Each structure stands twice: as structure tokens, then as C-alpha cells.
Amino acid sequence: MEEQVVIDLEAEKKEILKRYRGLLRACRRTIEKGDKLLIRKAFDIALEAHKHMRRKSGEPYIYHPIAVAHICAEEIGLGTTSVVCALLHDVVEDTDLTLDDIRVSFGEKEAKIIDGLTKISGVFDQGSSLQAENFRKMLLTLSDDVRVILIKLADRLHNMRTLDSMKRDKQLKIASETLYLYAPLAHRLGLNAIKSELEDLGLKYTEPDSYNEIQQHLKEAEPERKKFISKFIIPIKEILEEQGMKFTIIGRPKSIYSINNKIKTKGVTFENIFDLFAIRIIIDTPTENEKADCWRVYSIVTDFYHPSPERLRDWISTPKANGYESLHATVMGPEGKWVEVQIRTVRMDELAEKGYAAHWKYKDSGNESQLDDWIRKIREILESPEENAMEFLDDFKLNLFAEEIFAFTPKGEIKTLPINSTALDFAFDIHTKIGEKCIGAKVNHKLVPLSYKLKSGDQVEVLTSSKQTPKEDWLGYVVTARAKSKIKNALKEERRKVAEDGKEMLERKFNHLKIDFNLSNINDLANYFKLPSSQELFYRIAVGNIELKHLKDFSQEHGKITHKSGSIKKEETTKSLEQMVTTARGKSDMLVIGENLQKFDYKLSPCCNPIPGDDVFGFITISEGIKIHRVNCPNAIQLLSNYAYRVVKAKWTTPELISFLAGMKITGIDEVGLVNNITKIISNEHNVNMRSISFDSNDGTFDGTVMVYVHDTTHLTELMKKLKTVNGVLTVTRMDGQ
């Protein structure tokens, strides 16, 4: 018999009030006369609207809006309007309340923000991604009111903190979305603390093993780390106190996500990462002395510890585009360990942790113009609404996470651009028309091509010609979303003009063949040639891709176009995709790999080479059946984030022993007989066949790649353990792709 859960409603009521009071305490810094009443009104409406709803964890739903409002007030530092909207952010989507009700009770501004936070309802064609459309809607409101995104980030942060009660596939989808878009957004808005927490929590659910392992390592190393930090700061503290400076010094470990990234990209083990933590010196000094005092502290630190000149980062003279200001130096500390030291003021620290919400507090510092500048750029990307939402998102993401460089115009005006920007990006950054007419540039007075990659400090003069027009291959020369979208728009416009000519040619041909030139017949013809739209049909006719003489095989029967081979059938891609999703999911909602799956055409994806034992999912493609990906595959985050409806949970059965190809990367010191020892272990290993082995030796070190056939992850892990014991071998890592 199922156990009945008894809910103590009285205790819940008390808890709700306790959380509400906690929210009011968090608001006390920004609260003004009359604000308390507004917050109470929003709380009462939300409480009533959600009264019969519960979260997956079984808690009353109202806990969620209160928590989101609390994050907005306490961790982002937003004011009353945002707290009101956070309390009401789910009511329009989940209850009978409408935007008009909000407008009447609170005002136009609040209604607009809540509209931006409400997901799009309605049916989309299966080829597009509802998720991408929702992101786009949210970003459209960003250009009107940045608070939409800030509240959305608070909402996402609370969902991530409470993700434990969700099913595994939901956890994967939400965590992937978070890493794909929300963490980069928090970064771009300068919300450092929230960005780090979102990344860590995202990793916790997408790669739990890596997350737990690093967390464990950090825990074990904590006492030693604390000892080292206090030893490091003793001499600095003394001098700073002597000079009468007000300061705080904190040592904080790097985020688990950034450590994991380092392990992946640099191919090193946890033990070999030097900068596991950073020491932050925060000084309390008036705005006019900030720069001089930060350099004074730098001078004191480097009197004791030798700096690494190429690791000095000065974001005080030129702040990052997200408003981040700080001085970073890497110095050689005690025990021969490199340590990153971050020097900043109280104001800079608050801006770094709370991002743009803190900018309103320091309005006179002149930095908020960078936010306006960034939002202006987003507005421009959003100017082309006909663009597919997925394409738009990819372009938008390009500019979210990029590190920046700065370049100068001939008159000395500074332009901040993402790293790897080209001369053509620079031209589009100045003005669309200059970009479209650009034929080259002079960088530091030397002639360079459009695709030339700029470096920080370059001075760029753009050369134009009235005869120049954007070309298709320009898309490969640019990295900024602005340039990409402007080039696409120009190419679309060009294509549209050509298509107009094709339309006239087709109309003449239809008249000649006595076929009605109507929408239905045009679409049927496009369908026959397997083209996505009538515009594509007109374009291909105009450029001679489809010759008009081929149309003599078409005629008209009962007002409809037919081909001499019979009537034209509509392509049913969408239908078949829907059918595939339902069939693949089956009753158990789980695809089992390794059984007799004749009814499914499934492939193991080459981008991540899954083998039995890996945590995997199935992704339903339109043309290639089901593809199996590892959950930590480089492409997984984008697929799970944007096409969750096409994802099928998958697990391996224990099939008869089938062999799967897996790759290993081995590095070490080149010793005599090393390759021989490695191959001996592999060939002695039961049921392992080696497909290929290649080694590169370079001045006493070696890099090797070994491809082997194994049965599952346990099999592979065992083999890797044995290879690590070989004399001279430093690392053995699994390769993602082939």
C-alpha cells in the first residue's frame, strides 16, 4: 500500500511568511516609501494564484517566486519593480491571471517585463526549436529592459539549485540550456558570482563524475590551501597596514567548471593545475585615487613576489565590455607556486559580482555607456526578424563569451571587439555601409586583406569602394554577430532581387503551358524539386539551376499542376520526424541500445564515439535516423538545449560482446622500449584489438595516439589504468572524436 504523505499546512503557512519576511529584509537597501505595499500586493496575488500548485519536490509552488525575488534583491541588487515582477513571473503562464490584470494592478512597465518572461505558447513546426524561439522572445525584450534577463537569470539560478528533484532527462535538458545560454548571458552582464554558480551546477548534472571528483580534490586540498594563503598574505598585509590603506584580502578557489575546462583543454590532471585559487585584494579608496592605489598595491605585491610579465592583465585602464575592472598579476609565491593576484577597489568588486545592476548605484562612473553600447548591438542583431531563431542564437552566442581585443580608428577612437575579429568586423563595427563597401584595410599603415585578424592595439583604416558588394565567402571572414547578420541580410536582399526575375520567368512559362500561376501550384512545383520555399524555386530558375525546358513535362488537371509521371506528393518530413520521436520513445520512454533494434536505424555518433557504459542519449535526425551521443559530447549541450523534443533517453543493455572503436592519447618521456611496453600491454589484454598506433617524438618527449577495439567503458578504463603504470608515461586520456 502506498504511504500517504501528510502535509502540515499550518507549518507551511509559517514557512511561507518566514520566507516573505526574509525577502523584505533583502529589499531593505533599495526600498522607498510605498514600495512595501507594492511588494505585499504582488506577494498576495502570487500566493492566491499558485495556492493549489506544488513543485516537483512536493513543496508549495510559492517558495519558487519568493526565492527568485530574493535572488533579485540580495544577489543581483535589483529594486522594487524587479522584485514585484519576480514574484509574479509565472502567474500569466501557469494561472488564469492575464497581462491585462497585471497592467491594471501595477502598470505598463511591469506588464511588459512579465510578458518578456512568459514563454511562447502555440505550435511550431517541428523543424524549428521552440526553445530557441523562447530565447529570442526574451532577448527581444532585453533591448527594452535589461531587467527581463536579470530576473530570468535569478529564475534559472533557483531552478538549478533545486534540480535534484527532477528526472534525469529533464536535468540534462535544463543543465545544458544553462551552459549553452544562461551562463554566457550572466557573464556578459558582468554577474560573475552567478555565472560561476550556474556553470558549476550545469557541470554537476551534465558530467557528475568529473564534478564530484574535482569537488572531492578541492575538499581534500583545502587545509593546505588555507595554510599557503595565510603564509602568502602576511608580508603584504604588514606593508598595506603600515601605509594606512583600508583593505580586505580573500583567497578563493577557482570554480569547479573552470578547473574542469583546464583539465580538458590543456590535457593536464588536477594535481598539475597551478592556479587552483586566486588571491583578491580589495581596497577601499575614493574614486579619484582608484587607479593610482591599485598600481601601488601591485608594486607592493611584486616587491615580495616575482611577477610573470606575460600574465599581467590591466582591466582598469581598459575595462572589459561587460564592465569588469581589475588588475590581475600572476606571481611566484612561496614553495615555487604560481599565484594569481587580483587587485581592485570596493566599487570594482561590487560591479564584478553584481554586474550591471550595480552600475545604477555608480551611475556617475561613466561605465554604463558600455551596457548601452552592448544593448545597441543586440538591437541591431534583432533587426532581422526573418532569420531562423537557431541561426540567430548561434550568432548571438558568438558575442557572449568572447574575450575582447581593442583597436583604434585613424583618429584614435577606441573600438572593443571579440578576440579573432578581422578587418571586415572592424569595418562593420563602424557602420553597416562601410562594411558592405569594404575592399581591404590598412593596419598600422600596412595594407591587409579583409580576413586579417586584428590584435589589441592595432590602428585600422578601412578602405572602401562604391562598386563593392557583400559576398557569400565573407561569412567565413567575420566573427561578430553584427557583421554576420548584416552580411546575411545583404545576401538575402540580393537573392530576393534575383528571385523576383525568376518569378517573372516562371509566370511566363506557366502562361505558355496554360497552368494557373497560383500559390498552390507554385508550392507543389517547389515540392517536386524538394526545395524549402517558393523563393528558392524562383532563385534557381533565375540562375539557371532549374531549366525552364524541364517544365514541359508538367500540365494542369482539375486546376492542379501534375507531372506526366503522376500527381505531385507533398514531402512529409515533419510528420515522419514526429512519428520517429513517438516510435523511438515507445511506452517506456527509453531507447535501449544493443537489443535487436531492426525497427530503428541508429548510428553511434563519430563526434564523441560512444561505447557501452557511457552515459548516452539518442538524438533523432531527419535524414540519418537516431544518432547516439555521449552526454559530455562537445555537441550535446547545443542539442539538449535547443532540440530537447528530439532527444530520447538511451541506455545500453549487455549485448553479446560487440567491439567498439575508442581512441586514447598518451603523453610522456621518451624512454627506450616505451612503445614496445605499451603495445605489449595492449596485446596481452584479453579481447582488445589494436587498430592503429602512432607516436611522435620531440626532444625527449612523446605524444601518441592509439585506436583500439573494446567492449565497454569498464574495459577501456582498466586498459588505461594499466598503461599509466608504464615507465615514462605521464598521461593517458580518452579521445572524444576520431
Mean pLDDT of all residues in 374-384 = 59
pLDDT class for 203, splitting at 50, 70, 90? very high
The greatest distance separating any two alpha carbons of the chain, rounded to the nearest whole angstrom, comes to: 97
Secondary structure (H, E, C), 126-156: CCCCHHHHHHHHHHHHHCCCCHHHHHHHHHH
CB atoms within 10 A of CB 497: 11
DSSP string, 49-84: HTTT-B-TTSSBTTHHHHHHHHIIIIII---HHHHH
Q: Quick: pLDDT tens for 77-123.
A: 888 888 999 999 888 888 788 888 888 888 888 888 888 887 655 44
pLDDT class for 426, splitting at 50, 70, 90? very high
Q: How many residues are there in the chain?
A: 738
pLDDT of residue 390: 61
Query: Are β-strands 616-620 and 647-652 bridged in parallel, bridged antiparallel, or unpaired?
Result: antiparallel
pLDDT of residue 200: 95
- On the question of pLDDT at 533 being above 90, the answer is no
Q: Quick: pLDDT tens for 271-311.
A: 777 667 889 999 999 989 999 999 999 999 999 999 988 88
Class in CATH terms, 9-206: mainly alpha
Q: Quick: pLDDT tens for 543-600.
A: 777 777 777 777 777 777 777 665 555 544 444 555 555 555 454 445 555 544 444 5
pLDDT of residue 414: 80
State what percent of residues in the chain have pLDDT above 90. 20
Q: Quick: pLDDT tens for 128-146.
A: 566 667 766 666 666 567 7
Mean pLDDT of all residues in 508-533 = 80
Q: Which of 246-250, 358-362, 392-396, 597-601 has the lowest mean pLDDT?
A: 597-601
Q: Which of 300-304, 345-349, 354-358, 638-642 has the lowest mean pLDDT?
A: 354-358
CATH second-level architecture of 660-734? 2-Layer Sandwich (3.30)
pLDDT of residue 126: 47
Residue 652's nearest CA partner among 633, 630, 636, 634 is 630
pLDDT of residue 381: 57
Place of cell 545592476: 357
Is the pLDDT higher at 265 or at 470? Answer: 470
Q: Does the annotation count 93 as an active-site position? A: yes
CB atoms within 10 A of CB 186: 28
Tell me the residue type at 137: K
C-alpha cell read off for 736: 572524444
Q: Does the annotation count 429 as an active-site position? A: no
| Choice among 44, 94, 493, 589 that is catalytic | 94
C-alpha dihedral (478, 482, 484, 490), degrees to nearest 10:
-120
Domain chopping of the chain, boundaries = 9-206, 209-369, 489-567, 573-652, 660-734
Please, what is the average pLDDT of the chain? 80
Is the pLDDT higher at 615 or at 72? Answer: 72
> CATH homologous superfamily of domain 209-369?
Beta Polymerase, domain 2 (3.30.460.10)
Query: Are β-strands 438-443 and 446-448 bridged in parallel, bridged antiparallel, or unpaired?
Result: antiparallel
Q: Which residues partner with 504 through β-bridges?
A: none
| Choice among 44, 48, 93, 493 that is catalytic | 93
The answer to whether the predicted template modeling score (pTM) of the entire model surpasses 0.75 is no
